Amino acid sequence: MIFDAAGPNFPQGSSWQYFSNIEPESSHPCEPSMEEDPNPESQKLYDLLQPADAKLYPSSSLSQLVVISRMLNIKMENNMSQRGYNQMMQLLKEALPEYNIVFDSYYQTKKVVRSLALPVEKIDCCELGCMLYWGDDEHLTSCTFCGHDRYKRRIGSRKRKLIPYKKMYYFPLIPRLQILYASHATAADMRWHHEHTKEDGVMRHPSDSEAWKHFNDTHPFFADEPRNVRLGLCTDGFQPFSQSGSKY
């Protein structure tokens, strides 16, 4: 979605107007198309994309978001220190015409980019993989199965930050699906299974399979929505009852 907003062909006007002015394709030929107002979460994201519309200075061809993205990429590829980045941005701000809106510090730049990031949750888990400290077990300090401590033992002040032996990263699915539909480029791909021309006997997508068609017949209300998403689960070699591998 950021590429939609910051790309070279981005039209004039606010970011959210660009997306809301796109007329959605109707799933039925005789049904008139209707625009939907963005939900609060989408509106929040559109508001965060305001730097995509803000010109670096009045006559600039680059937006603030484009410059931020490219400067952070330069910092990463050259392993630039935060101090070096700040000095470079301060010089850039002085060199550009008056009334430019260049951020002259890494802190300000990171603050804008962080607000556009997708959420990630860190969850502590048992070092031996017995359990997750989540839900009703969130406040436990030792594993209920093996008794292993949750946190590493620290010598000294008790006010120090507790460090877990092990933790996992959980990437919430719903915000990632929402971002796919918020982008004009990927939204069409997400609806392709519903809108593509079907030929009997030719399977180009799982939606052409008998199992998919059976699900559509069983759940017609869900199937009639072009934006429906079917999720598949993969164990990736996980064998909970196998005697040859690790016991879970």
The 10s digit of each residue's pLDDT in 5-51 is 544 443 444 333 433 444 444 444 444 445 667 777 667 667 666 77
Exposure string (b/e) for 117-128, b if CB count within 10 Å is 16 or more? eeeeeeebbbee
Exposure string (b/e) for 129-138, b if CB count within 10 Å is 16 or more? eebebeeeee
* Residue at 131 is within a domain: no
* Residue at 28 is within a domain: yes
Same domain (yes/no): 98, 204: no
The model's pTM is 0.59
pLDDT at 218 over 80: yes
Same domain (yes/no): 111, 200: no
* Residue at 62 is within a domain: yes
Res 158: pLDDT: 64
Burial of 1 (0-12, 13-18, 19+ CB in 10 A): buried
Q: How large is the average pLDDT for residues 84-89? A: 94
* Residue at 178 is within a domain: no
* Residue at 89 is within a domain: yes
How many domains is the chain built from?
2
* Residue at 78 is within a domain: yes
Exposure string (b/e) for 62-80, b if CB count within 10 Å is 16 or more? ebbbbbbbebbeebeeeeb
Its domain, for residue 215, covers 196-248
pLDDT in tens, 97-118: 988 998 989 998 888 888 777 7
* Residue at 246 is within a domain: yes
* Residue at 162 is within a domain: no
